[in-house]
A and B are shown apart, each in its own frame.
Chain A
Amino acid sequence: AQKITQTQPGMFVQEKEAVTLDCTYDTSDPSYGLFWYKQPSSGEMIFLIYQGSYDQQNATEGRYSLNFQKARKSANLVISASQLGDSAMYFCAMREGWSGGSYIPTFGRGTSLIVHP
């Protein structure tokens, strides 16, 4: 079974609107971390935001926020006020605690976001 599932292969959004990229995860470990990365067409991977399993509040970083619903095991990325430069692939990743075997993150297959002017 996949540990990270991103069910939206492609998403489209109008410039200046908000968009939510879905990510669900599977773990039995009480200690884990969730990451989102952005990969523009130039190819580099850029870290966006992190949420720890024990964090009480949803993480926010500028226009990025993470809608963390622990009971549903979802960690959706919300991008507010989309910009043309947000067009990219977005990857969700999870790092489990030591009881999961290692601290090594597992990545989802990604969601392609296209922002229309």
Chain B
Amino acid sequence: NAGVTQTPKFRVLKTGQSMTLLCAQDMNHEYMYWYRQDPGMGLRLIHYSVGEGTTAKGEVPDGYNVSRLKKQNFLLGLESAAPSQTSVYFCASSRSGQGMNEQFFGPGTRLTVL
């Protein structure tokens, strides 16, 4: 099992460019999440999905869009990147939201917007 994988691992964008981050999990998990991690801020939730075809906004959704067309994949899009979106992005999945269903995290994507 690969667990949770993220593509790419690193990316540098210019302001205004767009990109898509891909998250894939092979654990048949229902829930998937996108977080951003900035120094001193912990993990902040961008968007999440509780099942195939569903998405919902998290704490910091502005400037991002997501799609979950297949259960195993969760895509995070930046339509017009801004320097404020420079961050480390983590994808996570969990079997469900209830009980002791811990999140499994991907290795992260380090994004720099110039």
Contacts and interface: CB of A to CB of B under 8 A. Distances in A.
Interface of B: 31, 33, 35, 40-45, 48, 50, 56, 58, 88, 90, 92, 96-100, 102-105, 107-108
B45 to A, nearest CB: 6
B105 A45 contact: yes
A3 to B, nearest CB: 10
Contact of A45 (B48, B90, B98): B90
Interface residues of A, number: 21
Nearest to B9: A43
A103 interface: yes
Given A33-B99, A44-B105, A47-B103, A104 B33 contact: yes
Nearest to B31: A103
A50 B102 contact: yes
B107 A43 contact: yes
Given A50-B100, A104-B48, A104-B97, A91 B42 contact: yes
A37 B108 CA distance: 15
A43 B99 contact: no
Contacts of A107: 35, 42-44
A45 B97 contact: no
